[in-house]
Amino acid sequence: MVVGVLALQGSFNEHVAALRRLGVKGVEIRKPEQLQNVSSLIIPGGESTTMAKLAEYHNLFPALREFVKTGKPVWGTCAGLIFLADKAIGQKTGGQELIGGIDCTVHRNYFGSQIQSFEAELSVPELVSKEGGPETFRGVFIRAPAVLEVGPGVEVLAEYPVSSTSVLYSSSAVQIQEENALPEKKVIVAVKQGNLLGTAFHPELTSDTRWHSYFMKMGSEAQEESPSSIVPVGGVDPSFNEKARIDLPIYQ
Amino acid sequence: MAGTGVVAVYGNGAITETKKSPFSVKVGLAQMLRGGVIMDVVNPEQARIAEEAGACAVMALERVPADIRAQGGVARMSDPQLIKEIKQSVTIPVMAKARIGHFVEAQILEAIGIDYVDESEVLTPADEENHINKHNFRIPFVCGCRNLGEALRRIREGAAMIRTKGEAGTGNVIEAVRHVRSVMGDIRLLRNMDDDEVFTFAKKIAAPYDLVMQTKQLGRLPVVQFAAGGVATPADAALMMQLGCDGCLWGPEFSRAATRQEEPERLCRL
């Protein structure tokens, strides 16, 4: 089974490396034609505005929407989640194009800028029941979005608590102590709808491959009929001539 | 000095929080910038053009390096008000420069809430001998390097991203190529070296042994490496990427051209 990773910008190398750890071949996708050879797709983290711009230029949006419509599994992390959402707020002036597919509203850069980026232990019961392993998952949130609301058909896989006092107001001079008054709100950080998976955090930046194998299982469930493409094992790669990119280390 | 090896000289009270800021989160943003372009901008309008054109981040400056060279004088951190305005005008990450060794400029930039600080040799150094202790900050830093030793020293100080120094403001890519070839060349040398020889190699390049060994095992720098300093055309940018960089910083040559939107768009498509 071949998994495509949209390789316009961002952490596509990290996803390919994570797939390699599972023994799965990841193919970098830059042109619409390449989408025909893959059975599932990962849209990596990065800058969604940059990726949208490049996708437009390479005329990828129609092919991507088609891919989603045919029901093939697609997983978006962070910027990828923004692409897969039906609605996004906090967009740049003038808006940006989305692929759509998951019936939800996503808020770009929900937690703030880099200073507010963080790591958190997330409780993901669905993942633990399907994949086993430790109870929590180390979620790395880098200028992450959050899903504000979901439609009826969307499964919520993980949530993160935020204090109700707005995240946007953070001044070290004035601290409003309201912890007792308002209840804690939770925002959704992982969703699944049919064969579409979206996470606001970056599993590819951790050594925990459970999300990747969860996604692979989604793929193999979808593919009962024997497929399609003859994938060249060693030899000629669609991404000819590219020197193997050496991976960055994973920081714990 | 609590056994962590990092001496907190500046005190953690004033602006920075004492919460842990894991290195993985600092490096994480750089990994999200891979394959992208960071553009120098001097006002919110240029920042908007850069965002429209597909830049993955912007570097907010008051004066572009070419003007600093031409006008001389002392080049300092840009006006915080300008940086705030630029930050408010775009949704992509915003970076800004601080003088080498000037940790208070870095504290100010961190308090403004931008995404990355560039401890830059383009500005007039504030400390001839020492760089900022970047571990003390929650905000990640990008530092320049001319060779592998410098890159690893900056990483040991806490830099989460490295760029080549090149020769900013000249439009001539030769220095950037020299620097990236020096770094990649030393890495290639290191990879083939006997493990026992790494101690002396670390001494020779004046870099911490543990990072030299880590680089040897990885076959690359342990952080994201961008190209900067004189990258002037799409061909230059492609050259730097093929020589081994993960992305580019574009500067004054393009800020001038940024009034015409097509230029930056064309250049981003690499």
Beta-bridge partner residues of A27:
A4
Q: How confident is the model at residue B89 (pLDDT cuts 50, 70, 90)?
A: very high
From the list A142, A246, A250, which residue is nearest B29 (CB)? A142
Catalytic residue check, B203: no
Mind listing the pLDDT tens digit for each residue in B186-231? Answer: 999 999 999 999 999 999 999 999 999 999 998 899 999 999 988 8
Above pLDDT 90, what percent of chain B? 52
**pLDDT reported for residue B251:** 75
Interchain CB contact of B106 with A (< 8 Å): no
Could you give the domains of chain B? 36-269 (3.20.20.70)
d(CA B18, CA A248): 28
Report the interhelical angle of A48-57 vs A61-69 (nearest 10°).
100
Mean residue pLDDT of chain A comes to 80
Q: Which of A73-77, A181-185, B87-91, B214-218 has the lowest mean pLDDT?
A: A181-185
Mean pLDDT on B158-183: 90
Residue A204 annotated among the catalytic residues of the structure: yes
The CB density around residue A165, as the number of other CB atoms within 10 Å, is: 16
pLDDT of residue B18: 37
Interface subset of A 108-127, CB within 8 angstroms of B: 108-109, 112-115, 117-119
Instruction: Indicate whether A186 pLDDT > 50.
Output: yes
- Is A45 in contact with B32 (Cβ distance < 8 A)? yes
- Find the CB nearest A143 among B31, B93, B220: B93
Mind listing the pLDDT tens digit for each residue in B125-155?
A: 999 999 999 988 989 999 999 999 999 999 9
Q: What pLDDT was estimated at residue A132?
A: 82
Higher pLDDT, A224 or A76: A76
- Contacting A residues, span 64-83, partner chain B, CB-CB under 8 Å: 78-79
> Within the 206-245 window of chain A, which residues sit less than 8 Å (CB to CB) from chain B?
none
Q: Is the pLDDT of residue A29 over 80?
A: yes
pTM for this model (two decimals): 0.81
Residue B93, C-beta contacts closer than 8 angstroms, at least 6 positions apart: A47, A113, A114, A143, B29, B33, B56, B57, B58, B114, B115, B116
Confidence of residue A169 (pLDDT cuts 50, 70, 90): very low
| A242: closest chain B residue by CA | B242
Q: Burial level of A173, CB count in 10 A (0-12/13-18/19+)?
A: exposed
Round to whole Å and give the CA distance between A24 and A81: 22
pLDDT in tens, B95-117: 999 999 999 999 999 999 999 99
For the CA atoms of B31, B61, B83, B100, the dihedral, rounded to the nearest 10 degrees, stands at 70
Across the interface, of B29, B89, B110, the residue whose CB is closest to A143 is: B29
Please state which of the ranges A100-114, A116-130, B3-17, B98-112 shows the lowest mean pLDDT.
Answer: B3-17
Residue B206 parent element (H or E): none
Average pLDDT, chain B: 84
Residue A134, pLDDT above cutoff 70? yes
